[in-house]
């Protein structure tokens, strides 16, 4: 697997949104999907829960073949009229979104554990804006 990830607990994600916020959700369909931390199905479930539990307005859901490919994100023509973006991709995918929209808070819904090398896991350094 390219990078190892785990889903951040729903309660922790939920606590970062407030009622009425307009939210875009972006997920990666490679590493995070195969490790059940992202992908279309999980994104739809997360979206429904956040609408029901918090009362956010999900204005857009984007599934990227590879979240760390900036061209794919550009081609998805993401909206800039949102209050927050929820990233269900790895931290590299998070940087792609943050670089395009530096002024919009990008909530990480996935924690990147590192890069596997056989049975070892090489840790990576989290961006300062993300709680590792």
Partner 1 sequence: MIVVLRDIDYEQLKEQITTDDRIIVWSCNDCTKYCDLGGRKNLNALADALEKDGYNVIHRELIGVGCQPPLIRLRSQHPATKDIFGSASVIVVLSCTDGFLKTQRVFKKQKVIQIGVSVGLGAYSKKEGMRLVIPMDGIGLEPSIEGYSLDEVAKKLGKKSGPLV
Q: Which of 82, 86, 95, 107 binds partner 1 (CB under 8 A)?
A: 95
Interacting residues of 77 by C-beta distance below 8 A, sequence separation 6+: none
Q: Does 111 bind partner 1 (CB under 8 A)?
A: no
Q: Which of 37, 46, 92, 110 binds partner 1 (CB under 8 A)?
A: 92
Q: Which of 13, 88, 91, 110 binds partner 1 (CB under 8 A)?
A: 91
Closest CA to 100 of 65, 67, 59: 67
Closest CA to 43 of 53, 29, 56: 29
Q: Does 68 bind partner 1 (CB under 8 A)?
A: yes
Q: How many CB atoms lie within 10 A of CB 67?
A: 31
Residues at the site binding partner 1, with contacts judged by CB under 8 A:
1-3, 66, 68-71, 74, 90-93, 95-96, 98-99, 102, 112, 114-118, 122-128
């Amino acid at each position: 697997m390219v990078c190892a990830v785990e889903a951040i607990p729903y309660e922790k994600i939920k606590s970062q949104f407030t009622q009425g916020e307009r939210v875009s959700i972006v997920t990666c369909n490679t590493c995070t999907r195969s490790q059940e931390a992202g992908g279309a199905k999980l994104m739809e479930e997360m979206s429904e829960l956040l609408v029901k539990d918090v009362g956010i307005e999900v204005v857009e859901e984007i599934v990227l073949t590879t979240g760390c490919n900036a061209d794919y994100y550009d081609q998805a023509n993401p909206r800039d009229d949102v209050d927050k973006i929820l990233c269900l991709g790895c931290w590299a995918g998070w940087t792609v979104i943050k670089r395009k929209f530096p002024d919009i808070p990008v909530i990480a819904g996935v924690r990147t554990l590192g890069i596997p090398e056989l049975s070892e896991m090489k840790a990576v350094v989290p961006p300062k804006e993300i709680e590792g």
